[in-house]
Amino acid sequence: MHNRTLGQSGLSVSALGYGCMGIDFGYSSKLSRADGIAMIRAAFERGVTFFDTAEVYGPWTNEDMVGEALEPFRGEVVIATKFGFNIDPDSGAMRGVDSHPEQIRRVCDASLKRLRVDAIDLFYQHRVDPKVPIEDVAGTVRDLIAEGKVRHFGMSEPGAATVRRAHAVQPVAALQNEYSLWTRQVETNGILDACHELGIGLVPYSPLGKGFLAGGIASAEQVAEGDFRGTLPRFQAAAFAHNLKLLDLVKKIAADRGATPAQIALAWLLAKAPFIVPIPGTTRLHRLEENLGAADIALSREDLAEIEALLATVSVEGARYTPAGEAATGL
């Protein structure tokens, strides 16, 4: 596994990271703590040095698991976590967004303990809080960096104008946005342009379309009860059936290159820019190894042009989020 640097931050990470959320949050099936720790360590043993979590995953349990799993490798890995939500401390219920400075500090201190580290390598604002000026958010993280509690500042799903305002106060090392063969808003909403211009890394989450692009789900009916994908417009029956045309196309592209659809989806992102570091997640060892194989696939300019031409022949049906979920992005 080769490394990449997230923009001009100097933060060097493996070219493919590992998204830890799905280990015990969001999907109908969860790994036990022991199996989750084993999966995280398996990723490290195979060259992954970049791990992504958040206080809201669980909530709190995911960070704690990541902390235990990676404690033996402290100094050899980069851990990213996130702040920005108001979580009821007793019930764990979500109570909206909250990026007030005092809340950021509370989350930072709690995350440090759960992750078992002296400093958070990359601290993302999970969602922009419209009630708090982004300058105050960036300034608070700047102060945490000065205090040695945080090393780098990141943002997840902000609007491009907000990124520029934040970056003027505290340089943003990385933006975490959804980006994949079926979710390409960053190419047109100014985020990718901002990354190029300001020297910011881009960390695509859901680079496999929440599993769709890996080809493991044949119909919307296979999405189990309790799986958050069942609430998403793209995973409703009619939209899902329509979107299988895209998956069939990706399968053809992969077969022509002796790869799997997941590997092509990840290799396509890696070929887009040298500062892009996707973070696919999985709970299965064979899928982990399959995903990491994408780092060995180099798509040429001609390959990318051919893929673009083929993608232009199909459309994607359905929004990526519910209206409420989408309303929380791009602020």
Tell me how far CA of residue 232 lies from CA of 2, 159, 223, 229, 329, in angstroms.
34, 22, 11, 5, 15
* CA-CA-CA-CA torsion sign (276, 277, 283, 284): positive
Tell me how far CA of residue 220 lies from CA of 99, 190, 224, 320, in angstroms.
36, 32, 9, 15
Q: Which residues are catalytic?
A: 57
H helical segments located in 71-212: 101-115, 134-146, 160-169, 191-198
Q: Cβ-count burial of 180 within 10 angstroms (0-12 exposed, 13-18 middle, 19+ buried)?
A: buried
What is residue 50's DSSP assignment? E
> CB of 7 within 8 A of CB of 198?
yes
- Parallel, antiparallel or unpaired: strands 94-97 and 120-125: unpaired
What are the backbone angles phi and psi of residue 72, rounded to the nearest 5°?
-70, -15
Which among 290, 305, 238, 296 is positioned nearest to 270, based on CA atoms? Answer: 296
Q: How far apart are CA 170 and CA 176, in angstroms?
A: 17
**Encoded amino acid at 96, one letter:** G
